[in-house]
Amino acid sequence: MPRNGSVGYSDNTPIKQEHLRVLLRTHMPIVKSIMQKRWVEPCYLYLDLNAGKGRYAVDGAWLYGSPLIACAVAQAFDVPLQAVLCERDHASLRSLRRELITFGFASVPDQEDLYHNHHQIMASVCPGDYEVSARDFLAHLQQHTSKERYGLLYSDENGSCPPFALLSEYARTLPYLDIVIHLAASPIKWQRVSTVHPFRQRLDELMSTIQKTYWLIRDPYGHHQWTFLIGTNWPAFPKFRKQGFWPIDSPEGASILRRLSWTTKERQAHLQGNLFAQEEL
């Protein structure tokens, strides 16, 4: 897969960005209505663990990255937004800062890497490893937030395994923050069955470590089996059927999750085991 900075792009990228846009265009207005309650912080929290460059040139056209998609949707729906943008690649950081200015943000005097515009949108750029910056931000919220935080945490590892331990920590601490994971399932399976990798947990086992009651999974795309996972505690979370999402407790969703968690050889062995068990009965 071609790489550009820390995030990279492929033929999956336009689909990924469009599905993220659709998700946010549905999610943000719902959260905006909830933010009217006195016990809720009146600002949508958007945390992006892999912010990237901000904008990409793909086939002669410009494609917004996830941070600018979130800011554009918030602006369109007049949603007060706190965007926390984690990125460790130096070239991507330079580009992201430029793109925020181009988008209409201004840097806040005496506040390094803090940006704002005139639509109640604040963006904090967090350089370095998100394992440090995102945990520091979570500790800050625990110390300084008295109301419930609603919004979305977005993880897009560009083919690597998502940071499930970090996501689990956020799920425990901020139960109303929904979690969206974009991942490639095939590399996780390849590493799990490889003799040179210590990685042993299946995707379904990794998901179970995140304390979310309801999960949606999207139909996989391409050779690497790119998919989205959405974890929430809200039973009436939008279904996004047009985009190919299924609840994992539905027959369709369970089948997708099984296919993305187990290798073909493992699934075949499991089926044979079931047949043998039936014969013994």
The pLDDT value recorded for residue 2 is: 34
pLDDT tens per residue across span 245-269: 999 999 999 999 999 999 888 878 7
**What is the distance between the alpha carbons of residues 53 and 5, in angstroms, rounded to a whole number?**
7
13, pLDDT greater than 80: yes
pLDDT surpassing 50 at residue 277:
no
Burial readout 123-132 (b: 16 or more C-beta within 10 A, e: otherwise) = bbbbbeebee
Cα separation, 212 vs 275, whole angstroms: 34
Count the neighbouring beta carbons within 10 Å of the beta carbon of residue 144. Answer: 7
* 12/68: higher pLDDT: 68
Q: Spell out the domains of the chain, with CATH numbers in brackets.
A: 13-280 (3.40.50.150)
Q: Is the pLDDT of residue 203 over 50?
A: yes
pLDDT (tens digit, 9 = 90+) per residue, 94-113? 999 999 999 999 999 999 99
Measured CA to CA, the distance from residue 85 to residue 93 in angstroms comes to: 10
Residue 200: pLDDT band (50, 70, 90) is confident
Token duo for residue 214: 């309801």
Three-class DSSP labels, the chain? CCCCCCCCCCCCHHHHHHHHHHHHHHHHHHHHHHCCCCCECCCEEEEECCCCCCEEEECCEEEECHHHHHHHHHHHCCCCEEEEEEECCHHHHHHHHHHHHHHCCEECCCCCCEEECCCCEEEEEEECCHHHHHHHHHHHHHHHCCCECCEEEEEECCCCCCCHHHHHHHHHHCCCEEEEEEEEHHHHHHHHHCCCCCCCCCHHHHHCCCCCCEEEEECCECCCCEEEEEEECCCCCCCCHHHCEEECCCHHHHHHHHHHHCCHHHHHHHHHHHHHHHHHC
- Tell me the pTM: 0.91
Query: What's the rounded Cα separation, in Å, for the pair 57 and 18?
Result: 16
